Amino acid sequence: MPDKYLKMILNSRVYDVATETRLDFAQGLSVRLGNDVWLKREDLQPVFSFKLRGAYNKIASLDAASCEKGIITASAGNHAQGVALAAKHRGIKSLIVMPRTTPGIKVSSVRALGGKPLLHGDTYDEACEHAHKLAKERGMIFIHPYDDPEVIAGQGTVAMEVLQQQRDPIHAVFVPVGGGGLIAGMAAYIKALRPDIRVIGVEPEDAPCMYEALKRKRRVVLDQVGIFADGVAVRQAGKEPYRLARKFVDEIMLVSTDEICAATKDIFDDTRAMVEPAGALAVAGIKKYVEREGCTDESLIAINSGANINFDRLRHVAERAEIGERREALLAVTIPEQPGSFLKFCRTLGKRGITEFNYRYADAHDAQVFAGVQLSGGDEEREELLDTLRKQGYAVVDMTDNEMAKTHIRFMVGGHASGIDDEVLYRFEFPERPGALLKFLASMGKRWNISLFHYRNHGAAYGRVLVGVQVPPAERKGFRASLDDLGYTWFEELDNPAYTLFLG
């Protein structure tokens, strides 16, 4: 098995269009982690992603007759650009089906690279289904983004370069995982030549398709996937990548959105490059691995898989990086509603910097404060701070890992509402595009009154909304049924302490 892919990788045609990218030493990360950390800079490819390798290797394997009617694929970004450039190089017409939620920068890039973008559906699955339908109707060749041996072999050339560039012992290579094409090709190559090297995949906690597949010993279809790291937001691992991963991958690690944001900042600090969320997964995995294993003086390699980030999303990355690095704590603190209470509270915090402070009068007895506090000692210092506040008589709730608090509450602290009966609270995610918010509101209907609403656009593919609705208990079963009919991902949040402390 490894020999088959070894030969395919060695004979791949990727360098007709792709470049051999650098393996950069990450000085800052290495010092902080006590290990030698190296970054494989696939963000420096002509399309700013490794996806060009596999796309071209597949297209180069096709004969002229097969391509006469053109090729087609479905992608929300990196694979689309890879296929467009590869097809242009071979003089083949390419049709790229992209979800309507795809950022304009990626649609424009496909067009500039010679591909013809066609927007269809709100998700990759809908776009892919339409692409397969068109391929059949028009006799076009479908180029799969990861579940194809030629694509896998093309991605495997990343491992070939890594082993050529780093001749010294390597402890582990960390690889971002979506559908699995990259890690499948890299693991097959590495285990054929250097079986002592650990191959570790990294996925977001909210999109663990390969992690769940290996855990359950079968491919699974996730009910939903998180969309922050859109480059790896895949509901099911590919059949061939899963088969190879079972044989050659040592482990799949999961990391949080905040850990991805912190890793994005780490990469920027060392290289001044801004990678996309999926491109920072491997570094986030390295940091978590070093903390877990306590290893030192090892050589660890991260694959920076891509840099196609929507500029607007940088706001979200910047907001969450400090939390992901455990350099900020978000706290909900009850203080007395009396003169001097703010001053006393700030003195209790000591000389720590305050990153934000949100408050509004609620009643004559107590005040609820939402505070961001800078930390230099990570989780240990956070626990010490919580203990100090409690010993001083403050009621405090740690909101640092509360998603609703970080996404919504910190921006809308305004005091408790009075006279609001039968309120229920839900978080929604819906495809983001012009008019999407209006459509969401219209779809909520007029049967129930909206009592709370918060929406913030981060430049992502999906919008996030927090909604309070007045629904009598007898009507709640029908209300939840209407939510299912909407077709949006939703989370019930009525018991979330961020709501009860600041808004309920």
- The answer to whether residue 305 is catalytic is yes
Sequence letter at residue 318: A
The CATH code belonging to domain 326-401 is 3.40.1020.10
Catalytic residue among 49, 305, 406, 451: 305
* pLDDT at residue 178 in the model: 92
In three state form, how does the secondary structure of 73-125 look? EECCCHHHHHHHHHHHHHCCCEEEEECCCCCHHHHHHHHHCCCEEEECCCCHH
Helical (H) or strand (E) element with 458: none
Strand order from edge to edge, sheet including 116-119: 116-119, 94-98, 71-74, 141-142
CATH topology of domain 51-142: Rossmann fold (3.40.50)
Tabulate helix, strand, coil % of the chain (nearest 5).
Answer: 45, 20, 35
Domain 2-44+152-322: assigned CATH number = 3.40.50.1100
* 326-401 shares the fold of 51-142: no
Query: Tens place of pLDDT for every residue, the chain, 504 residues?
Result: 567 899 999 999 999 999 999 999 999 999 999 999 999 999 999 999 999 999 999 999 998 888 889 999 998 778 999 999 999 999 999 999 998 877 777 888 899 999 999 999 877 778 889 999 999 999 999 999 999 999 999 999 999 999 999 999 999 999 999 999 999 999 999 999 999 999 999 999 989 999 999 999 999 999 888 878 888 888 899 999 999 999 999 999 999 999 999 999 999 999 999 999 999 999 999 999 999 999 999 999 999 999 988 777 787 788 788 777 788 888 988 888 776 777 788 788 887 877 777 776 566 677 778 888 888 888 889 999 999 999 988 989 999 988 888 888 877 766 666 777 888 888 887 776 655 666 676 666 667 877 777 776 555 556 778 888 888 999 888 888 888 877 778 889 988 988 888 777
pLDDT given for residue 107 in this prediction? 87
pLDDT of residue 500: 82
Instruction: Show the CA angle centred on residue 378, arms to residues 372 and 381, nearest 5°.
Output: 80
In this structure, which amino acid lies at residue 325? Answer: E
From 12, 40, 49, 51, active-site residue: 51
Token duo for residue 394: 């403050």
Q: From CA 434, how far away is CA 218, in angstroms rounded? A: 39
Domain-wise residue ranges, the chain: 2-44+152-322, 51-142, 326-401, 423-502
pLDDT the model gives residue 458: 56
What pLDDT is attached to residue 105? Answer: 75
The reported pLDDT for the residue numbered 420 is 77
The topology under which CATH files domain 423-502 is Biosynthetic Threonine Deaminase; domain 3 (3.40.1020)
What was the pLDDT predicted at 456?
Answer: 63
Q: At residue 441, what is the residue type?
A: L
